[in-house]
């Protein structure tokens, strides 16, 4: 649940344009979080070198790949329906091969390949470099599988092809895997143990993006605050590192400063943070550099200490509030967003009230709230009964959403009358006469287009707002152009 899901882009197919030298057609759909979409860019880069060009027409495809998500049951059911659709297409295109990538591949490999026989290839999140070999296997008429989880792979040596982009914002992966064994989460089982990417490769990717015209990046990881580079290897093995490795290690605050200094006019965001790992050094680094955005995504999951313990979240609500207080003190203009799971096993009405009290304490700028969905293979699925009736989950979820909406409006109203820098990302969804962009706090801002263009940094006077959007008028370019 700590990976936010953008419902508007689920099932997006990639299109890189035609490559006359590449004769085979790849149809690639992506589901899930930003990590999955970033992984699809790595896959596209690998397969372009193997003679594939992309198509958005299923009937033209030679290879269909689905990059999957296991975080919620809805995502898995959607993927199953798509796989059935692809198998139906095989009747007219018998040479068509179908493969599953990502988290579902890791979790359901034998079911897909042997029991249901609905795919030809299953590839886990750490095995994308093996795709050329696996494709050779299925070309030879065999099933192919590689779901081995790596202790080293970070794909830091592969320059991703940017697929789902407006040419302004891009994701830069800095870690893979996760060591936080939250009982509700399948990620440690599908993406393996946590390891960090070599800092220089990150800086090179950031420089490359700037040279290509990108204006904003998001440093991406399951838990960015636990980033730790000491020469390679798993984070959990750091205690065995040499004294020299420990002395020269790079943590997340160090990395964030290096990125900000490398491209001082590029906006820097990061996601996702974990309350147990975020340090004051990170918050102070955000305050120090003008180009690091004033927004922190800090999942809460529950306001009840008892439920947090059941979730194996390694902090209390009091410690969480202390962190919030420190953020507010060091970064007064910082926006804070949350993830919330409603109706976790054994959640009582008192626990639910504690969550509502936590919302009142923080008054988040926005949030991502879901009813609990049991994920097979997690500790919660093994040890806790999903005992909260669906109607109670939905009622509690509705109460949380309603309160969050009030707080969203409270927070957007605080921007009225201010002049704020906005990076233009594209046209407004509601009016092609207005631009849409975001301010430093990640709030959407719309304003008349005039003579500005996508990628411009513009100062906008905020004149009106809804609970989710700021409205205003441009008053000129910002100093960042």
Residues of the chain with pLDDT > 90, as a percent, come to 60
Structure confidence at residue 88 as a pLDDT band (50, 70, 90): confident
Which stretches does DSSP call E strand in 221-257?
Answer: 228-229, 250-251
Residue pLDDT, tens place only, 443-469: 999 999 999 999 999 999 999 999 999
Identify the CA nearest to 61 among candidates 20, 98, 113.
Answer: 98
Asked whether residue 124 carries a pLDDT value surpassing 50, the answer given is yes
DSSP helix/strand/coil, 444: strand
Asked whether residue 2 carries a pLDDT value surpassing 50, the answer given is no
What is the distance between the alpha carbons of residues 11 and 434, in angstroms, rounded to a whole number?
27
Give the pLDDT score at 192: 81
According to DSSP H, which parts of 213-363 are helical?
Answer: 243-247, 252-262, 280-288, 305-310, 317-330, 349-362
DSSP helix/strand/coil, 479: coil
According to DSSP H, which parts of 294-387 are helical?
Answer: 305-310, 317-330, 349-362, 379-383
Which long-range CB contacts under 8 A does 9-14 form with residues at least 24 apart? 9/37, 9/164, 10/75, 10/78, 11/78, 11/82, 12/37, 12/164, 13/54, 13/56, 14/40, 14/44, 14/54, 14/56, 14/163, 14/164
Give the pLDDT score at 445: 98
Q: Pairing state of beta strands 444-448 and 434-438?
A: antiparallel
What is the distance between the alpha carbons of residues 364 and 346, in angstroms, rounded to a whole number?
25
Cα of 106 vs its chain's centroid, Å: 19
What is the distance between the alpha carbons of residues 195 and 460, in angstroms, rounded to a whole number?
41
Residue pLDDT, tens place only, 388-437: 999 999 999 999 999 999 999 999 999 999 999 999 999 998 999 999 99
Question: Burial letters for 143-174: b for 16+ Cβ neighbours within 10 Å, e otherwise?
Answer: ebbbbebbeebbbbebebbbbbeeebbbbbbb
Give the pLDDT score at 105: 77
Give the pLDDT score at 3: 42
What is the distance between the alpha carbons of residues 338 and 334, in angstroms, rounded to a whole number?
13
Tokens in use for 2?
Answer: 């700590």
Give the pLDDT score at 165: 65
Q: How many CA atoms lie within 13 A of 410 on its CB side?
A: 14
Residue pLDDT, tens place only, 282-334: 999 999 999 999 999 999 999 999 999 999 999 999 999 999 999 999 999 99
Q: Of 7-21, 50-64, 192-206, 342-356, where does the model show the most confidence?
A: 342-356
| DSSP count for the chain of H helices, then E strands | 15, 22
User: pTM above 0.95?
Assistant: no
Asked whether residue 229 carries a pLDDT value surpassing 50, the answer given is yes
367 near 334, Cβ under 8 Å? no
Residue pLDDT, tens place only, 254-291: 999 999 999 999 999 999 899 999 999 999 999 999 99
Structure confidence at residue 160 as a pLDDT band (50, 70, 90): low
302 near 355, Cβ under 8 Å? yes
Identify the CA nearest to 285 among candidates 232, 241, 338, 219.
Answer: 219
Give the pLDDT score at 167: 87
Asked whether residue 10 carries a pLDDT value surpassing 90, the answer given is no
User: Which of 65-69, 290-294, 321-325, 356-360 has the least mean pLDDT?
Assistant: 65-69
Tokens in use for 19?
Answer: 């490559």
Average pLDDT over the chain reads: 89
pLDDT mean over 40-44? 86
What is the distance between the alpha carbons of residues 285 and 297, in angstroms, rounded to a whole number?
16
Compute, in degrees rounded to 10, the torsion defined by CA atoms 368, 421, 160, 5.
Answer: 10
Give the pLDDT score at 59: 87
Structure confidence at residue 12 as a pLDDT band (50, 70, 90): low
Residues of the chain with pLDDT > 70, as a percent, come to 90
Give the pLDDT score at 260: 98
Tokens in use for 478?
Answer: 């910002």
């Amino acid at each position: 649940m700590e990976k936010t899901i953008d419902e508007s882009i689920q099932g997006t197919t990639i299109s890189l344009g035609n490559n006359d030298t590449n004769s085979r057609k790849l149809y690639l759909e992506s589901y899930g979080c930003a990590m999955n979409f970033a992984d699809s860019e790595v896959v596209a880069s690998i397969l372009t070198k193997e003679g594939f060009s992309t198509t958005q027409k299923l009937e033209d495809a030679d290879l269909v790949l689905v990059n999957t998500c296991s975080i919620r049951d809805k995502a898995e059911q959607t993927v199953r329906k798509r796989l059935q659709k692809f198998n139906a297409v095989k009747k007219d295109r018998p040479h068509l091969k179908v493969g599953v990538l990502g988290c579902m591949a890791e979790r359901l490999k034998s079911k897909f390949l042997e029991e249901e026989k609905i795919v030809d290839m299953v590839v886990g999140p750490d095995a994308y470099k093996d795709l050329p070999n696996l494709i050779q296997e299925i070309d030879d008429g065999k099933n192919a599988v590689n779901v081995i989880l790596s202790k080293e792979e970070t794909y830091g040596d592969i320059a991703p092809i940017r697929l789902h982009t407006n040419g302004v914002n891009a994701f830069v992966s800095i870690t893979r895997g996760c060591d936080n064994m939250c009982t509700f989460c399948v990620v440690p089982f599908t993406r393996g143990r946590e390891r960090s990417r070599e800092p220089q490769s990150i800086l090179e990717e950031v420089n490359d993006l700037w040279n290509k015209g990108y204006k904003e990046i998001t440093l991406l990881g399951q838990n960015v605050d636990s980033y730790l580079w000491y020469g390679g290897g798993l984070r959990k093995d750091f205690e065995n590192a040499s004294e020299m490795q420990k002395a020269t290690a790079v943590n997340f605050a160090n990395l964030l400063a290096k990125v900000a200094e490398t491209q001082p006019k590029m906006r820097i965001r990061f996601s996702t943070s974990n309350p147990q790992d975020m340090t004051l050094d990170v918050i102070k680094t955000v305050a120090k550099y003008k180009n690091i955005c004033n927004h922190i995504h800090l999942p809460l999951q529950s306001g009840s200490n008892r439920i947090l313990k059941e979730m194996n979240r390694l902090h209390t609500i009091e410690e969480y509030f202390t962190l919030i207080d420190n953020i507010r003190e060091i970064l007064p203009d910082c926006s804070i967003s949350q993830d919330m799971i409603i109706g976790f096993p054994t959640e009582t009405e008192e626990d639910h009230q504690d969550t509502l009290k936590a919302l009142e304490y923080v008054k988040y700028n926005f949030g991502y709230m879901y009813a609990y969905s049991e994920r097979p293979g997690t500790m919660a699925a093994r040890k806790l009964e999903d005992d909260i009736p669906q109607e109670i989950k939905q009622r509690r979820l509705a109460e949380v959403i309603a309160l969050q909406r009030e707080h969203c409006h409270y927070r957007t109203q605080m921007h009225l009358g201010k002049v704020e820098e906005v990076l233009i990302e594209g046209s407004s969804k509601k009016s092609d006469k207005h631009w849409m962009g975001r301010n430093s706090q990640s709030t959407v801002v719309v304003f008349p287009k005039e003579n500005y263009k996508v990628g411009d940094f513009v100062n906008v006077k905020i004149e009106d707002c809804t609970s989710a959007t700021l409205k205003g008028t441009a008053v000129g370019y910002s100093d960042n152009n």
